Structure 1
Amino acid sequence: MATTGEDNMPPKPQPPLNLPSLVATAFSRAVASKDVNFYPTSVTLINVNSIPFQLRYSPSLANKPKPPAPLPVVPPSPPNASHPPPPKKTFFNPFASPAQAMLITPLGSPPSHNLVLNKFAIVPEHFILSTAAFKPQTHLLEADDLAAAYACIEEYAQHGQELFVFFNSGEHSGASQPHRHLQLLPVGNMKEGLLGGEWDVLAKRLSTPETKRKLPFEVFAAGIEEVNGDGEGLRKVYLELYSQACEAVLGVAEDIKLDGEAKMSYNLAMTRTTMVVMPRLAEGGVVKDEKGQEVGKLALNGTVLAGTALVKSEMEWNALRRDPAQVREVLGRIGVPNRAKI
């Protein structure tokens, strides 16, 4: 019997049916063994054009251990070379061979991806979906990356829980590791510490023009429920949003390659209902005290699409609570300014 293209495709990676409890158990064990550093935070809600934004403060995070320094690697000299080639730097890659204490589970057989714990967590049970083989963080996502992430979202939904997925790509996005990985946060845990006030994941509302026009930056969003977790369908939506974002940054829609290295820095967010792509022009902006003196910098990654921001110093924390308009100003600088009227 003849086979179809679909028959030859590898099965999409599926997480285990007990994924939420598996993550929770792995996280508790790794915190107890000090393989994961968990940093408690203080949190308050600030208003950005009537959108509630979480502002979190984690003083311990400022002193988190630094990864091992890059090691010089001298490549072999070619025959008859008068001078050895300059050394290359290699970086510590936590996703290349995940430590057993950090590995939650591989996905697929043979594994295409791994689920691993985030070593530096400010939200309990923060975990990561990384490719098993090295693939660049700056290259466009593939169908199996998106399918695996959405399968995790669906598995949490089967247990009455939500996941927020985000991806940082490029120098202005908040990305810190060159090995491709998406990050996953249990939404219930993101709400810990909120004492009063209404907050929910911003990305869930960004397929509606009412919320989008309130943002200081442009986003491109679409509903994905009808795609039903299909990797090729999710990638089609992703590439359409990516193309719109490229046009906003570069001014052209033609000749945008839909594979290989991305043409811009951007963040992606995904919930069960919505996918969002946000082009990035800067990682953050300065924070000033009441005297106009610079006291730090507010840096933002893909969690900005959840409606959250994090500071590491008390001076930044006090300055932004005293003058929340500074958060809106920084948000207006990190992406393409929103052309819609508020």
Structure 2
Amino acid sequence: MTTLCAAIERQTAHALACGALHPIETAHTFIDDGGMRFSVRVAENLARKEALRLTPQTSAAPGPKPPRDPFLPYEPDLFVGDLSSTHVALLNKFNVIDRHLLIVTRRYEPQEALLDAADFAALITVLREIDGLGFYNGGAAAGASQPHKHLQMVPLPLAGDAPHAAPLEALLGGAQAVHGARPIANVPGLAFRHAFARLDLGAGIGTAEDAAHAALDCYRALLDAACVPAIDVGGLAHQGAPYNLLVTRRWMLVVPRTTECVEGIPVNSLGFAGSFFVRDAAQLQTLARLGPMTALERVSVPRLRGA
């Protein structure tokens, strides 16, 4: 059987050759702040991406056109493989990080719906083959650019010459359990509201199904601890507030959000892992002036008093 890694490499080569994949070329630098070495990628040329996004969709109907769902149908040239009966793996068309994978529901589900066992089963199928960072941008204010439910995964380490697989891991050794919620912890050094837990999603926990249920239970506990309520929308559980989710084989983090950008710089889940993307040198200067940790605080909910 073809491994997922091999399928990603094969499809990446094909998508580059046929022009379906449009990597964004970046220069790479670091900013040290708050005990973390943040990885910052600076775009060298966004013109092609902007031109493609602004290309109008052909339609006989007059008037404004609704945004097209890029996953229904998905581009066959970006298709990596079937993950389950409910999810497929696609290449990220405009990738900043190599081998950036999208984990997409076959049928339309809203991005604001809570993740379920099927979502985690698909994610764990990926994480058991690739030691990566899975993440979910829960809503537009958390950095989601598409309304169709999709998780994402990028391989670790986030920067090959950094001391940690993800810069956030420099702070995780001091995580302190919250009284009354044994598996839930706060991370010293993070001044914004969050909830953290260690877990084992590798083969040591049992079957992939066992791992998916363990991950789902942990996720719901973290949402509760971070004060992200579940609400019912037409019989489907939705998030009551925007949030970011980060998942590796070893830990999980939830961060509630208030806004997508700080001084024009968009922040999604990767920012909380310690990885930023800026459009140009001016945004890099702004981020360096603010400090990445302050940028994260300004798009997040203040930490609970006494937490």
Assess same fold via TM > 0.5.
yes
Q: Which position in structure 1 is the counterpart of 2:291?
A: 326
Q: Select the residue among 225, 234, 237 that pairs with 2:200.
A: 225
Q: Secondary structure at the residue paired with 1:338?
A: coil
Q: Which position in structure 2 is the counterpart of 1:66?
A: 53
Contact in 1 for aligned 2:39/2:159 (Cα 8 Å): no
Q: 1:29 and 1:243, CA in 2 relative to 1: closer, same or farther beyond 3 A? A: same
Q: Select the residue among 128, 137, 141 that pairs with 2:111.
A: 137
Matches of 1:333 and 1:303, distance apart in 2:
15
Matches of 1:73 and 1:218, distance apart in 2:
48
Paired-residue identity, %? 26
Structure 2 residue identity aligned to 1:305: F
Structure 1 residue identity aligned to 2:274: G
How many residues are treated as equivalent by the alignment? 287
1:99 aligns with 2:75: yes
Contact in 1 for aligned 2:104/2:150 (Cα 8 Å): yes
1:308 aligns with 2:275: yes
Matches of 1:25 and 1:178, distance apart in 2:
28
Q: Select the residue among 163, 167, 172 that pairs with 2:132.
A: 163
Q: Cα distance, 1:29 vs. partner?
A: 1.8
How is 1:110-259 mapped onto 2 (pairs within 5 angstroms)? 111-156=85-130, 162-188=131-157, 190-192=158-160, 194=161, 198-202=163-167, 204=169, 206=172, 208-209=174-175, 212-225=187-200, 228=206, 229=208, 230=210, 231-246=212-227
Matches of 1:256 and 1:243, distance apart in 2:
12
Point out the structure with max Rg over C-alpha. Answer: 1
Matches of 2:143 and 2:249, distance apart in 1:
23
Q: Secondary structure at the residue paired with 2:197?
A: strand
Output one character per residue of 1:191-238: Cα deviation in whole Å (capped at 9) or x when no partner.
Answer: 25x4xx524314556484278211232221112217554222221111
Structure 2 residue identity aligned to 1:284: C
Q: Cα distance, 1:340 vs. partner?
A: 7.7
Q: 1:100 and 1:70, CA in 2 relative to 1: closer, same or farther beyond 3 A? A: closer
Matches of 2:54 and 2:114, distance apart in 1:
26
Contact in 2 for aligned 1:57/1:312 (Cα 8 Å): yes
Matches of 2:97 and 2:73, distance apart in 1:
24
Output one character per residue of 1:88-120: Cα deviation in whole Å (capped at 9) or x when no partner.
Answer: 853211211222211011223xx3111001000
Matches of 2:301 and 2:58, distance apart in 1:
37
Q: Unmatched 5+ residue regions in structure 1?
A: 1-15, 75-86, 157-161, 248-252, 287-296
Matches of 1:71 and 1:242, distance apart in 2:
41
Matches of 2:8 and 2:251, distance apart in 1:
23
Q: Cα distance, 1:320 vs. partner?
A: 3.4
Structure 1 residue identity aligned to 2:150: H
Q: Select the residue among 228, 240, 260 that pairs with 1:283.
A: 260
Q: Select the residue among 8, 26, 48 that pairs with 1:41.
A: 26
Structure 1 residue identity aligned to 2:3: N
Contact in 1 for aligned 2:38/2:292 (Cα 8 Å): no
Contact in 1 for aligned 2:99/2:155 (Cα 8 Å): yes
Structure 1 residue identity aligned to 2:120: L
Matches of 2:195 and 2:59, distance apart in 1:
41
Output one character per residue of 1:233-280: Cα deviation in whole Å (capped at 9) or x when no partner.
Answer: 221111111112226xxxxx7x86695221000111100011111100
Over the residues paired in the alignment, what is the CA RMSD in angstroms? 2.9
TM-score scaled by length of structure 2: 0.83
Matches of 2:283 and 2:150, distance apart in 1:
29
